[in-house]
Structure 1
């Protein structure tokens, strides 16, 4: 029996969704779509037809950056012999979250209460859309074997700037190496979609990684193509690892997140490879459904299954009708909750609004259980 679960290939450097899902005449379509949108407009409530989507939800994209990888960098973080070695691996792991995105293709904005649950070996990952307006996604992952826990709470807010759209990812990502009592916090770069003069998509902006328990920090700066696309170095990242107390630099970092990123010991001048993007995020395997009986009705690959199937078959009318049906159902549920004064409550996270205008998500589960969808380690 058909489970209704449709899982598209992951974002990957070679093969996978980034290489297969391309839309014809996309620049012309984009310009016509945004012709009545004012500069500085918040695009959170802006609805795209399936032609401009990739066949997966934003929840799946967040999850893939954790569970779809050819190299187990997360285990290296927990196996480091010194706090500096572990911190270096955490920096490499942070860089590995960046994945190629095609110009003109964006994931679906998850519906309220949508979930995504996938396992990779002993790593179990669970995500939930805990708010729709504004869009807030929460992630909880645990690996009992590696003694690792991840907690993310973030919101991507896209704004139109005339010649570009910038999706700024607010919130923080936390990595806990439990057996060492080390707690790492980091943010994420922004996604810049440029229309003129050279269309393209780049991860840009500053990322800070810090561990108060060890007094180590890292600053990373992501850069894309120049405005004219000349003399630029796309997918470039540069930064340093340093001591928080003295600001003394330990390693300088430089390279391309889709190729090789090196670090140089500032005292000895020795250079070494920090991260190899081509090995880590090339030809990634698509997750598979192992147990249809326990798939949640809120699972991303089920919620968007009919839309995904239409898009993968290039049946745009079917995809458009299925997407419209989902959106109308969500509006109806929102109106019903409003009419009776009911507030929606996340199932897997406690959600709090912080004083600085951000969001704080606390997992309700101590450990994430194994998932019905799995990806080979």
Structure 2
């Protein structure tokens, strides 16, 4: 369990957990032989065993691609590979990392319940269950596209929420997001940090996540557990999250501390989450238990952490039904946020949905997707050269960097805050009666909105 003085931090851009994950599923016997894994039996986290060579040969890469990428990746062992590695588009999903920031809002009704709740401990039960709910989606093993600097993502039409995310830094890759409805505001700054270990990669969610409940002004701070992507070089790639999740009520000092069990042999313990909600004196008040891919439940407990007599375990969250045999393992909500159904009127031209590489991949045109991806990356490098030649610095449009540097368990973080300009922009559009209907799919993707680049 975490101590009261543990450094605070958070951030839910753990979508990087899938950023290299399908790289390893395509490796062949000759690659496994390079590191002595030839013929090894691989533990399947769902139970049972599978032969490594047979599993590896199910990959989608050509033999020459497998060998060349493994030879390249060997040089990165022990390194942070967040933005150093270029991978072919065939292992991508048609979504970007800042879109995946929005996936934590699927079960936002739990935050509505937390805001309406009078019991301070049940507030943490609802809020912590909300934080856990996204991990079902985060176990996907496809790589999202890296956002272009200045890229945005907007979402409306979900629980009365307005959501905006912006890529505020390219090196290191950093995103900022803000969501709001009648019950809460959600603010996140997320900077990804990884460590490549050869056959796995550790993903550290360096960031800060804050939720403010509007009814009483309660501020909640989240520290998520780290994530590990397993079987990068051989076997079936799978994602696991282990360690403590801490949700702290910064207003009262109450907190929830939950432990994500690591996956053992033959899948033993995988998905399991257990812990308690504590008061400010660190006395247990409510126990919580469940599985992050299925359900969470709670029950009042005594000072020893044992269930109170006469009470029963009650369900607080259960994962929603998902599409069967979906190509990219999407939830219904993932399809929703990836569609124009959740796009507002007069969508920003910098929106992720408009990326030509993402759109081409969604339509199944891998050749075009790869070409468009390369074109965007080259233009991003050209824009950077232009800025630096003129002595200009990139300035985000919708978020401002603050003087605050917050410590997290995995490193310090420069915090960005929402500047309110998007709310003014959106209010002006929504109040106008003259907004013409536009085919949003015809809008040209344009994240190159530096503003000060062209200044003389």
Task: Tell me the TM-score range normalised by the shorter chain.
Answer: 0.7 to 0.9
Residue in structure 2 matched with residue 276 of structure 1 by the alignment: 318
After superposition, the Cα gap between the structure-2 partners of 1:40 and 1:273, relative to the gap in structure 1 and judged at 3 Å, is: same
- Find the partner of 1:61 among 87, 93, 100: 100
After superposition, the Cα gap between the structure-2 partners of 1:199 and 1:355, relative to the gap in structure 1 and judged at 3 Å, is: closer
CA distance in 2, matches of 1:205, 1:130: 29
| Deviation of 1:197 (Å) | 5.8
Normalising by structure 1, what TM-score?
A: 0.82
The yes-or-no answer on 1:25 pairing with 2:77 is no
Residue in structure 2 matched with residue 358 of structure 1 by the alignment: 413
The yes-or-no answer on 1:330 pairing with 2:367 is no
- Find the partner of 1:168 among 183, 204, 207: 204
| Deviation of 1:359 (Å) | 1.8
After superposition, the Cα gap between the structure-2 partners of 1:234 and 1:82, relative to the gap in structure 1 and judged at 3 Å, is: same
The answer as to whether partners of 1:310 and 1:318 remain within 8 angstroms in 2 is yes
The answer as to whether partners of 2:121 and 2:277 remain within 8 angstroms in 1 is no
Normalising by structure 2, what TM-score?
A: 0.69
The answer as to whether partners of 1:263 and 1:274 remain within 8 angstroms in 2 is yes
**CA RMSD, 1 decimal:** 2.9
CA distance in 2, matches of 1:222, 1:30: 33
- Find the partner of 2:290 among 255, 269, 286: 255
CA distance in 1, matches of 2:331, 2:378: 37
CA distance in 2, matches of 1:149, 1:103: 27
User: Per-residue displacement from partner, 1:233-292 (whole Å, max 9, x unpaired)?
Assistant: 3222222111232x2111222211111222232221532223212469964351443678
| Deviation of 1:216 (Å) | 1.0
Residue in structure 2 matched with residue 89 of structure 1 by the alignment: 126
CA distance in 2, matches of 1:360, 1:115: 18
| Deviation of 1:334 (Å) | 0.7
| Deviation of 1:35 (Å) | 3.1
The answer as to whether partners of 1:258 and 1:278 remain within 8 angstroms in 2 is no
Secondary structure in 2 matching 1:358: strand
Secondary structure in 2 matching 1:275: strand
The yes-or-no answer on 1:154 pairing with 2:190 is yes
- Find the partner of 2:219 among 183, 188, 194: 183
Residue in structure 1 matched with residue 113 of structure 2 by the alignment: 76
- Find the partner of 2:357 among 307, 311, 316: 307
The answer as to whether partners of 1:222 and 1:236 remain within 8 angstroms in 2 is yes
The answer as to whether partners of 1:309 and 1:319 remain within 8 angstroms in 2 is yes
The answer as to whether partners of 1:254 and 1:262 remain within 8 angstroms in 2 is yes
The answer as to whether partners of 2:254 and 2:280 remain within 8 angstroms in 1 is yes
Residue in structure 2 matched with residue 51 of structure 1 by the alignment: 90
CA distance in 2, matches of 1:31, 1:237: 39
CA distance in 1, matches of 2:68, 2:320: 36
CA distance in 2, matches of 1:113, 1:366: 15
CA distance in 1, matches of 2:138, 2:100: 10
Greater fraction strand: 1
- Find the partner of 1:220 among 258, 264, 275: 258
CA distance in 2, matches of 1:264, 1:233: 21
Superposition pairs of residues 124-143 of structure 1, within 5 angstroms: 124-143=162-181
CA distance in 1, matches of 2:266, 2:167: 40
| Deviation of 1:221 (Å) | 2.0
Gaps of 5+ in 1: 1-10, 12-21
Secondary structure in 1 matching 2:134: coil
Gaps of 5+ in 2: 1-14, 16-24, 27-57, 303-307, 323-329, 431-439, 441-456
After superposition, the Cα gap between the structure-2 partners of 1:331 and 1:367, relative to the gap in structure 1 and judged at 3 Å, is: closer
| Deviation of 1:187 (Å) | 2.2
| Deviation of 1:355 (Å) | 6.5
- Find the partner of 2:245 among 207, 218, 231: 207
The number of residue pairs the alignment matches comes to 344
CA distance in 1, matches of 2:90, 2:224: 27
